[in-house]
Amino acid sequence: MKLLEERIRLAGKVKDGDILKVDSFLNHQLDIELLDKLGEEFYRLFKDSGVNKILTVEASGIAFACMAARYFKVPVVFAKKSRSANISEDVYKSEVRSFTHGVTNTVIVSREYLSPKDRVLIIDDFLANGKALTGLTDIVRQSGAVAVGAGIVIEKAYQGGGDRLRANGLRIESLAKIVSMSDEDGIIFDSDI
Ligand code: 5GP
């Protein structure tokens, strides 16, 4: 998505450890007009998939999921991160190692909010090694619902998570796909090559 790529190039900051900071418009301060366009694009891509629920993980995925949900007119469920040992039996749960923080969280969703009759679109801000998305698809599988696909705002394609999950049959649509990034050469998108 051209508009998003231009904004990432203008305001994104490449940090050590393969981290792209987009705090000025996506991850801390939120440009709602841009987010609305991202939500509309997710709708355009998945509108024929019979989506009746959107699933994301707290915290940064929630804003994108909500903007998309306004177009789909469906509820958003966000997986909660929990580091406590005594998690109730009434939840689906999966272990997710955080790319940015290096800790492992148990992410949980109440059994009340996902069931076999659901067709779920998963939304997240970044796709890197694919741990977050794997955890969310695992939760959908536990619930018996169908994961119709995943909508990702920024995929760092060179980290390989997206390709691994696509090879397992998951439909993944990324609005910006970075093929390389560095301080010296800047950010290269798949649309540049
Ligand atoms: P994965 O689980 O695919 O390795 O990483 C995805 C998760 O890590 C996303 O939910 C996102 O919060 C975080 N993440 C991964 N790479 C980046 C990055 O370059 N910048 C930011 N801000 N978050 C990232």
Please give the angle made by the CA atoms of 74, 77 and 83, to the nearest 5 degrees: 175
pLDDT at 17: 87
Q: Which atom of ligand 1 is nearest to the CA of 27?
A: 22
Q: Is the CB of 130 within 6 Å of ligand 1? A: yes
- Predicted confidence at residue 89, as pLDDT, reads 83
pTM of the model: 0.97
Nearest CA to ligand 1 atom 22: 21
Q: Which of 16, 95, 99 has the most ligand 1 atoms within 8 A of CB, as the residue to mutate?
A: 99
What is the secondary structure of the chain as a DSSP string?
-HHHHHHHHHH-EEETTTEEE-IIIIISS--HHHHHHHHHHHHHHHTTS---EEEEETTTHHHHHHHHHHHHT--EEEEEEE--S---TTEEEEEEE-TTT--EEEEEEEGGG--TT-EEEEEEEEESSSHHHHHHHHHHHHHT-EEEEEEEEEEEGGG-HHHHHHHTT--EEEEEEEEEEETTTEEEEGGG-
Contact 109/53 with Cβ under 8 angstroms?
Answer: no
Cβ 128 under 6 angstroms from ligand 1: yes
The count of other CB atoms within 10 Å of the CB of residue 175 is: 20
Residues 54 and 121 sit within 8 Å (Cβ to Cβ): yes
191, 5 in Cβ contact below 8 A? yes
| Blockwise average pLDDT, block size 10, the chain, 193 residues | 97 94 98 98 98 97 98 98 77 93 93 97 98 98 98 98 98 98 93 93
Burial category of 101 from C-beta neighbours within 10 Å (exposed 0-12, middle 13-18, buried 19 and up) = exposed
Q: How far is the CA of 124 from the centre of ligand 1 (A)?
A: 9
Closest CA to 54 of 171, 141, 149: 149
Does residue 125 line the site of ligand 1, with CB under 6 A?
yes
Ligand 1 in reach of 142 Cβ (< 6 A): no
